[in-house]
Amino acid sequence: MQIDIKLKQNSYKVFINELEKLNFDTKVVLLSNARILNLHLKTLKNKIKCKELFIISIEEGEEYKNLQTVEKILNQMFAHHIDRKSILISFGGGVISDIGGFVASIYQRGISFINIPTTLLACVDASVGGKTGVNNQFGKNLIGSFYQPKAVYCQSEFLKTLNDKELSSAMAEVIKMALSFDIRFFKFIQNIDKKLFLSRDDELLSNIIQKSVEIKAKIVSKDEKENHLRMILNYGHTFAHVIENQTFYKKYLHAEAVSIGIHMANILAYHLNLLQKTQIQEINQTLQKFDLPIFYKIPNINAFYQNFFLDKKTKQEKINFILLKKIGKAIIKDDIDKNTILKSLESFT
């Protein structure tokens, strides 16, 4: 299965379960970490033919998604005489694809890169769309670039070794896309048999990836640099970023925070008469089917509100909220009065 990401320049394809052989007449840098290499390097190596395969393994974890790691990678690439024709392959989850894409975008002013995502979250979200970057002390993903891969290869075989929590939590991003754009896809997700999902059934996983990437492809094609429409993909994220920040990125996986953020956005939508309680319940049941959390106890509502302004998507003192008008249709609102926001946050105290 192939999905086109159509852009004004540098369009590319996302291939789902179609990675047979990759042939390059150049050097290839493979960026990954020890866990993923231990589990899957052998399989991948058999599929790659190139002049030379240079493997760079970085430390595992979000805390290493920073400029120090970028510098280490760049140094290894220079020391190994990687040239401008070489290709970088990011082989891992969103951390690896975000750093790899960023490194590729700045190494000698840019070399080609390919994503081979190994987490469900990276398949459905992080590896597609060209947002790359790293974190710093001021926040997440604050340093980066828009830089599109040459191709993305999602292989459900690599997802078999993910633990249940990593696998299931990614469904928050999938549910996010369905709720914002496609009620039929939401119905499909509601009907997923959890046992089949946890058995990592190839057909089911590739269907989930296909539908999610198709949605993302449409959005990114229309708004590559996130001027408007693409902001809808941040449904749940305005709240999630505050939760992640307040819990020091330790308590929740990103997608878990997104799940709570979806519920918070829905409560706000309820206070604005956009969503009904029954719809919110229906959504929560679906999130909870994948063992996702929907509640975070806000220690201090005013502090939580102030934290919205740390987000890089908050422009000119206006907070952008992505809210559901109904299931399958999200809208952007930047004119909600503070009292309504505070009132809706009270449900989380």
Ligand X SMILES: NC(=O)c1ccc[n+]([C@@H]2O[C@H](COP(=O)([O-])OP(=O)(O)OC[C@H]3O[C@@H](n4cnc5c(N)ncnc54)[C@H](O)[C@@H]3O)[C@@H](O)[C@H]2O)c1
Task: Give the catalytic positions in this structure.
Answer: 109, 131, 173, 216, 226, 230, 234, 237, 241, 254
**Residue written as tokens 């890169």?**
113
Q: Is 252 annotated among the ligand-binding residues?
A: no
Q: Give contact residues for ligand X (rule: CB under 6 A).
A: 33, 35-36, 39, 60, 62, 65, 92-96, 98, 118-119, 121-122, 125-126, 129, 131, 140-141, 158, 161-162, 166, 254
Cβ-proximal residue to ligand X, closest one: 94
Nearer to ligand X, 219 or 283 (CB): 219
- Residue 69 annotated as lining a ligand binding site: no
Closer residue to ligand X, CB minimum distance, 111 or 240: 240
Q: Is 161 annotated as a binding residue?
A: yes
In the bound complex, what is the minimum distance in angstroms from residue 169's beta carbon to ligand X? Answer: 8
In degrees, rounded to 5, the angle at the alpha carbon of residue 32 between the alpha carbons of residues 204 and 66 is: 110
- The answer to whether 98 is a known ligand-binding residue is yes
Q: How far is the CB of 35 from ligand X (least distance, A)?
A: 5
Q: Is 224 annotated as a binding residue?
A: no
Minimum separation from the CB atom of position 13 to ligand X (A): 17
Q: Is 81 annotated as a binding residue?
A: no
CB of 85 to ligand X, least distance (A): 25
Residue 117 CB, nearest distance to ligand X (Å)? Answer: 7
Compare residues 103 and 267 and give the one whose CB is closer to ligand X: 103
Nearest to ligand X of 169, 344 (CB atom) = 169
Annotated binding-site residues read: 60-65, 94-98, 118-119, 131, 140, 158-161, 173, 237, 254
User: Residue ranges for the binding site for NAD(+)?
Assistant: 60-65, 94-98, 118-119, 131, 140, 158-161
